[in-house]
Amino acid sequence: MELPPYATLGQKIWHYAFYVICGLIFLFLITPILIIAPLSFNAEPYFSFTEGMLGFDKEAYSTRWYQDIFTNGMANPDQPTSWALFREWLWMALSPMHTAPDSFYTDTWENAQWVRAMKNSFFIGFFATLIATALGTLAAVGLSRSEMPYRGAIMSLLISPLIVPLVITAAGMFYFYSQVGLSQTYTGVILAHAALGTPFVIITVTATLVGFDKSLVRAGASMGAGPARTFWKIQMPLILPGVVSGALFAFITSFDEVVAVLFLAGPEHRTIPRQMYSGIREQISPTILAVATILVIISILLLVTMELLRRRGERLRGIRN
Amino acid sequence: MTEASYQATSFPASPTDAQGALLAADGTPLKLKLRQSMRASRMRAFGLVLPLLIFVLASFVIPILVLLWQGVYNGTYENDMPRSAPIMRAWDGASPPSEAMAEAMVLDMVDARKAKTIGKVATRVNRELSGTRSLFTKSARRAAKMEAPYLAALEKADKDWADLETWRAIKIAATSLTPAFYAAAVDAKYTADGAFEMQSEERRIHVNLFIKTMLVSGAVMLACLLLGYPVAYLLAHLPMKTSNLLMILVLLPFWTSLLVRTTAWIAMLQSQGVLNDIFVWIGITSDDSRFSLIYNMTGTLIAMTHILLPFMILPIYSVMRAIPPSHVRAAKSLGATNWTAFWRVYFPATIPGIGAGGLLVFILSIGYYITPALVGGQDGQLISNFIAYHMQRSLNWSLAAALGGILLVIVLILYWLYDRIVGIDNMKLG
């Protein structure tokens, strides 16, 4: 990308113009994601910058929308709050008797819409990821064996949840699951999300298995280890980065999925994206921006985790840049 | 040591059977043994895949097949009007309605009203001929009091029963296995004589919708290519350290929730939004004539391009990284200008990446639902939104299934192409 010293004026102009164009595209990619953070601290119930915000007036900024995340939907939001009360509540809630006192925090935990949505998201995401990762890893190990019959056809079938339009998937599941009594249940949503997450697990785990040295397994077997033992002791540690990143993908898929939830979930199974969806459609309040900001921070953390995993995986398999 | 003595001291000769084929230690032919062991290892590999295969079949494939079956099979009339259905099917559709048809109709209507299924039946027939819904519910209320001759009684209750078109519509509805819904999905009408005719001009919405969806997907793909190619080029030609850093700017949107990005675009594009504020501030437009950038097609296009751009950049980038820089240098040393070297040497080498990214973006955008639903407004709705509408609002599941079936076929063809050109194995994430 360096400009040679003999470059003509035209080449120089093109060279810098190219940088400017790329800069603008990066701006297009990143601005919308970064802009929501300052907007979420708006003191007014608007989606846009107010005069005060642009003038860096302290009064124009507030954390009220972040508080709203925890209070919206509460039965009695006027109960006293303090750090000591919170500690007491947490202590009691975590105690084996689960005898949390009837306080502000119990109310938040039980009734606040976003908190309930968060609990649902994590609950559904956890089980969907568990199913997708367990089944997907097993299948990827099988698929990457050269003796696997009908490999191509089965692979395309197992990847297809990624390709088939979500509306068709969700409509089909809605129709079928309601006939077998799974619609409007956690199980239905979990099964749907697990099916949508498996392709990611297969792709990432197969990718780590590409560089896998089979003689390691044979070496283990020659020393008397059974198939289960060679899998857990030799293969698993080596493909673990792929498994973990596949699991992360599966989790984020479930955590971000809204079409299947729209079709399959009842009002008490609302997840965060579902809550955002109705928030955008019904009343646009900056609470959505506050939630969005938190989600962006979570995705930054996930991104860093993935990058670290990738590096670790490449180091373990002896691939160097 | 002679040849013979060597043989004598070496391993015993391998056991063979009468035909001279090699035998394994336990006496079975080696060939058979080998086949058995290959079979066992194939079964083991298959056994590992089997749990997921069953899971995906049960939770994903079968539901879709069951739904698609609804597109060609709608048993509403047959189930709820059991006497009338076979008679209606046997009717030729041209001769005047018989007393037997009317009798079965009245008796079924009485039962259906009791079972509270008459509304479903009326809706089903109404899809074939609009206006028949009230005819059915009204006549069903009076059916209990009707007496023979039933045909006259029906006609007395509502003169539409004298109309042959009504009976024809019922004949279509009485046939459970029907191409009527697929016909409706391509804006045709399936008639009682088994012919197809096109809908009147102003009622042709689905074909236009499919074309619109394809055009939007094409436009998004093109926009992604135009924006993604330079970025991929830059990333591929910067030193690894810098490009990894810049890659974060591509991957962060990729990892950010779809709804977060859609929300962000609402904040950016709405009439009081960031972009319009900037336009007003610069003076491109005045405060009272702000651009409407969202809740229309523009909003859908911008948001979809932003959401799908990483899917274009990543495959092109990985292809570009693999192109040896010596190729372009060689072209230049042979006298090519910068442009010729790029266009004749570099660009053709990146086509696999463009194909992979383009197909992926096209496949994903053709089935897009959430973004058009949230920022599309009236004219930004795509085929997916119609499927969801028929699934959830109009409850015309058979039409939804037929529209979905067509969409699925388009996507599967593209998927097959993707597999042929790129290979599913080469699908990479992040």
Listed by number, the residues of chain B in 225-264 with a beta carbon closer than 8 Å to a beta carbon of chain A are: 227, 230-231, 234, 237-238, 240, 246, 248-253, 255-264
Q: What percent of chain A has pLDDT over 70?
A: 96
CB contact under 8 A, A157 and B369: no
Q: Is the pLDDT of residue A321 over 50?
A: no
Segment A19-36 shows an average pLDDT of 93
Per-residue tokens: A302: 């996930």
What average pLDDT does chain B have? Answer: 87
Q: What is the distance of C-alpha B370 from the center of its chain?
A: 14
Listed by number, the residues of chain B in 315-344 with a beta carbon closer than 8 Å to a beta carbon of chain A are: 338
Q: Choose the most confident range, by mean pLDDT, from A20-34, A297-311, B185-199.
A: A20-34
A302 min Cα distance to partner chain B (Å): 8
| Segment among A35-39, A88-92, A239-243 with least mean pLDDT | A88-92
SS3 assignment, position B153: helix
Q: pLDDT per residue over B121-147, tens digit each?
A: 888 888 888 888 888 888 888 888 888
pLDDT bin (cut points 50, 70, 90) of residue B12 is low
In this structure, are A249 and A286 located in the same domain?
A: yes
pLDDT of residue B430: 47
pLDDT bin (cut points 50, 70, 90) of residue B94 is confident
In this structure, are A91 and A150 located in the same domain?
A: no
CATH architecture, domain B206-426: Orthogonal Bundle (1.10)
In this structure, are A139 and A237 located in the same domain?
A: yes
Q: Is the pLDDT of residue B183 over 90?
A: no
pLDDT bin (cut points 50, 70, 90) of residue B1 is very low
CB contact under 8 A, B61 and A157: yes
**Domain definitions of chain B by residue range:** 1-72, 76-178, 206-426
pLDDT bin (cut points 50, 70, 90) of residue B9 is low
Segment B369-394 shows an average pLDDT of 89
Q: Is residue A35 situated within a structural domain?
A: no
pLDDT of residue B11: 57
Q: pLDDT per residue over B321-371, tens digit each?
A: 989 999 999 999 999 988 899 999 999 999 989 998 999 999 999 988 999
pLDDT of residue B419: 86
SS3 assignment, position B29: strand
- Suggest the residue from B227, B259, B276 to mutate for an interface test with chain A (most A CBs closer than 10 A): B259
Counted domains in chain A: 2
Q: pLDDT per residue over B33-46, tens digit each?
A: 889 888 998 998 89
Q: What is the distance of C-alpha B327 from the center of its chain?
A: 41
Q: What is the distance of C-alpha A211 from the center of its chain?
A: 27
Segment A174-196 shows an average pLDDT of 93
Q: Is the pLDDT of residue A260 over 90?
A: yes
Q: Which of B49, B65, B237 shows the shortest C-beta gap to A1?
A: B237
CB contact under 8 A, B49 and A154: yes
- Can you give the C-alpha Rg of chain A in angstroms? 25
Q: pLDDT per residue over B263-299, tens digit each?
A: 899 888 888 888 888 888 888 888 788 888 888 888 8
Is there a contact between A194 and A150 (Cβ–Cβ < 8 Å)?
no
pLDDT of residue A43: 85
Q: Which helix (H) or strand (E) holds A144?
A: none
In this structure, are A293 and A174 located in the same domain?
A: yes
**Which residues of chain A have a CB within 8 Å of the CB of B368?**
165
* CA A116 – CA A252 distance, rounded (Å): 18
Q: Is the pLDDT of residue B383 over 60?
A: yes
Q: pLDDT per residue over A54-63, tens digit each?
A: 778 888 888 8
Angstrom CA distances, A31 to A24, B85, B144, B252, B312, stand at 10, 61, 68, 11, 19
In this structure, are A291 and A205 located in the same domain?
A: yes
CB contact under 8 A, B387 and A159: no
pLDDT of residue A101: 64
CB contact under 8 A, B227 and A28: yes
CB contact under 8 A, B429 and A160: no
CB contact under 8 A, B407 and A165: yes
Nearest C-alpha in A relative to B360: A163
In this structure, are A165 and A211 located in the same domain?
A: yes
- Higher-pLDDT residue of A98, A247: A247
CB contact under 8 A, A284 and B266: yes
Q: Is the ipTM of this complex over 0.85?
A: yes
Question: Is B310 exposed, middle or buried, given 0-12, 13-18 or 19+ CB atoms closer than 10 A?
Answer: buried
Nearest C-alpha in B relative to A279: B263
In this structure, are A190 and A238 located in the same domain?
A: yes
Is there a contact between B62 and A192 (Cβ–Cβ < 8 Å)?
no
CATH of the domain at A211: 1.10.3720.10
The domain containing residue A99 runs over which residues?
A: 82-109
Per-residue tokens: B11: 């391993």
pLDDT of residue B125: 87
What average pLDDT does chain A have? Answer: 86
CB contact under 8 A, A303 and B64: no
In this structure, are A141 and A95 located in the same domain?
A: no
- Suggest the residue from A12, A159, A175, A306 to mutate for an interface test with chain B (most B CBs closer than 10 A): A175
Segment A132-156 shows an average pLDDT of 90
CB contact under 8 A, A321 and B424: no
Segment A172-180 shows an average pLDDT of 92
What is the full DSSP assignment across A191-254? HHHHHHHHHHHHHHHHHHHHT--HHHHHHHHHTT--HHHHIIIIIHHHHHHHHHHHHHHHHHHH
**Vertex B75, ends B69 and B77: CA angle to 5°?**
155
pLDDT of residue B5: 47
B425 min Cα distance to partner chain A (Å): 8
Q: Which residues of A62-93 are buried (b: 16+ CB within 10 A; e: fewer)?
A: eebbbebbbbbbbeebeeebeeeeeeebeebb
pLDDT of residue A303: 85
Is the pTM for the entire model greater than 0.90?
A: no
A236 min Cα distance to partner chain B (Å): 14
Q: pLDDT per residue over A274-287, tens digit each?
A: 999 988 888 778 88
Q: Is residue A171 situated within a structural domain?
A: yes
pLDDT bin (cut points 50, 70, 90) of residue A21 is very high
pLDDT of residue A238: 84
Last residue of a domain, one of A94, A109, A124: A109
CA atoms within 13 A on the CB side of A38: 16
SS3 assignment, position B198: strand
Q: Is the pLDDT of residue A32 over 60?
A: yes
- Higher-pLDDT residue of A87, A218: A218
